[in-house]
Structure 1
Amino acid sequence: MPLSQRPIKNAMVLAAGLGTRLRPITDTMPKPLVPIADKPMIDYVLDLLQGAGVERAVVNVHHFADQMEAHLAERQYPKIVISDERAALMNSGGGLSKGLKLLDDGPVLVMNADLFWVGEQKDAPSNLTRLASFFDAGTMDMALLCVRIEDTTGHNGKLDFSLSEDGRLSRYGDGMPNPVVYAGAIAMHSRLFADAPPDAFNLNIYFDRAIANNRLYGIVLDGHWMTVGTPEAISEAEDAIRRLDNGA
């Protein structure tokens, strides 16, 4: 598919989780504000969105919500809109559904606040630009950014999907070809959630529904992806960032 010249300008960042595996650090701060190489995790994510042309990003908050709001208030781009989940956590799907109501209908990029990547080729379209251009609402429910296991740091080794030659995704099973890991970024149209339940639910429901309808697609990430789920994983991520910054 040719690269479109029209970026997706709206985004949703899922940032309301408790970060329990990062305790005791998250006993005093929300996981998205935990610094990795002196930069809060969520700022890596917001910088990636800004670089892809996103102008408006909804961020949901719950755990230490006041800290999140204070930090996000300092940011000029993209423009931040808060989706307040102080009263009740909505899980990934419910949080996304609630946040989408704060955006105009249309295509949207969705990211997790604690999953990000570094080391993209500087002379090529970014991963999010490629994902936005690849997404076709006529044939896809969602397009996912995926990553090969050898390009990850901090991951538990679980393989999520098998990626076909035409970009279609199916749930991974032993021996299936071209295994990939979900990298925490989605391109989709907000109308997909028009009939979403009002309560908390997991986003995997929509992944499985899209697979059943042959409408879940993906592309492979360029660069190095990281997840920071435990205190020990912080140093691993920082080592990977230093290595890539030094061109190793």
Structure 2
Amino acid sequence: MMQAMIFAAGLGTRLKPITDHMPKAMVSVGGEPLIKHVIEKLKSAGTERFVVNVHHFATQITDYLKENNYFNTDIRISDESDKLLDTGGGIKKAQDLFDKESPILIHNVDILSNVDLKRFYEAGISNSNIDKESTTVDAVLLVSERKTKRYLLFDNSMRLVGWTNIETGEVRSPYPNLNPKVCKMYAFAGIHTISPRLFKMMDEDFPDKFGIIDFYLKACKGHIIKGYVKENLKLLDVGKLDTLKEAEDFVQTRES
């Protein structure tokens, strides 16, 4: 069963003043809320179960989903109204809402892309789609060659080994003395799949609130976390006011 989690709990501070009155999930692009665009893209890819986390103006999201009959699919709410738990903590809190036998595709509500989500999800459950090793992959991260200050670091087999800030020179890795210059460097695109096998590590080693990249950087030593490079990636972060007009054009022209 294909399942997904949509991160919709954030405060959307970069979209102020719009988000002074609504959650970013309800910000309109092309006449429809962002969350509808993401649900429909995931649904068309074959997603059968959704988990949506909520916090900022949570009832606006839950009321919208109810009014639209949950888009005739299985949508479950992970309520973070009391406390924002960050990206890792949000997944940890929602773990009981998922099927424990299937990977979970994680998708930010403010990302629009031309990624074939079905193919990407299948890469998370079939090693042959991303490498020829016989080992089990526990997470797959969508990455790109986008210019940024912060990069994830991968070895020659595209296994995650660390993170670096090229501006400050900071390196984070469970491998001592890792040299970024011998690694492949890619920017994280905010879409990933994670195996329920990793919930045990979250429960044992992490607090209620933590970032998912922090988790992956610790998990990558004992678990296989892979990078997935999408060629000709078109991805738009609709998290800022100046990208809203661009988003309007994007939803009209993006590739499926």
Does structure 2 conserve the Cα–Cα contact (< 8 Å) formed by 1:142 and 1:210?
no
* Aligned AA (1:192): L
How does the TM-score come out when normalised to structure 2?
0.77
Does structure 2 conserve the Cα–Cα contact (< 8 Å) formed by 1:131 and 1:145?
no
* Aligned AA (2:139): M
**Partner residue of 2:2?**
9
**2:178 paired with 1:162:** no
Quote the Cα distance in structure 1 between the aligned partners of 2:200 and 2:27.
34
Quote the Cα distance in structure 2 between the aligned partners of 1:117 and 1:128.
15
Q: Stretches of 4+ moved more than 6 A in 1?
A: none
Q: Give the C-alpha shift of residue 242 in structure 1.
A: 4.3
Of residues 196-205 and 27-36 in structure 1, the stretch that sits farther from structure 2 once superposed is 196-205
Give per-residue Cα distances to partners, 1:68-116, cap 9 Å, x unaligned. Answer: 0022221334411011111221111111111111123122222222223
Distance 1:54 1:125, change over 3 A: closer
* Candidates 227, 230, 250, aligned match of 1:221: 230
* Candidates 67, 73, 82, aligned match of 2:77: 82
* Aligned AA (2:242): E
**Partner residue of 2:175?**
none
Quote the Cα distance in structure 1 between the aligned partners of 2:126 and 2:33.
28
Quote the Cα distance in structure 2 between the aligned partners of 1:125 and 1:87.
34
Quote the Cα distance in structure 2 between the aligned partners of 1:209 and 1:94.
15
**2:208 paired with 1:199:** yes
Could you say what secondary structure the match of 2:248 adopts? helix
Could you say what secondary structure the match of 1:146 adopts? strand
Structure 1 unaligned residues grouped into runs of 5+: 1-7, 151-156
**Partner residue of 2:248?**
238
Quote the Cα distance in structure 2 between the aligned partners of 1:51 and 1:81.
18
* Aligned AA (1:63): H
Could you say what secondary structure the match of 1:105 adopts? coil
Quote the Cα distance in structure 1 between the aligned partners of 2:254 and 2:80.
36
Does structure 2 conserve the Cα–Cα contact (< 8 Å) formed by 1:127 and 1:221?
no
Q: Percent identity?
A: 33
Could you say what secondary structure the match of 1:54 adopts? coil
**Partner residue of 1:180?**
186
Does structure 2 conserve the Cα–Cα contact (< 8 Å) formed by 1:161 and 1:181?
yes
Q: Give the C-alpha shift of residue 60 in structure 1.
A: 0.8
Quote the Cα distance in structure 2 between the aligned partners of 1:118 and 1:212.
31
In the TM superposition, 1:67-78 aligns within 5 A as 67-73=60-66, 74=68, 75-78=70-73
Give per-residue Cα distances to partners, 1:196-234, cap 9 Å, x unaligned. Answer: 245222212321112333622011125411112211121
Quote the Cα distance in structure 2 between the aligned partners of 1:52 and 1:144.
18
Quote the Cα distance in structure 1 between the aligned partners of 2:73 and 2:162.
33
* Candidates 112, 115, 132, aligned match of 1:116: 112
Could you say what secondary structure the match of 1:145 adopts? strand
Q: Give the C-alpha shift of residue 18 in structure 1.
A: 0.6
| Number of aligned residues | 230
**Partner residue of 1:141?**
138
Provide the aligned C-alpha RMSD in A: 2.9
* Candidates 48, 54, 57, aligned match of 1:55: 48
Quote the Cα distance in structure 1 between the aligned partners of 2:212 and 2:134.
18
Structure 2 unaligned residues grouped into runs of 5+: 167-180
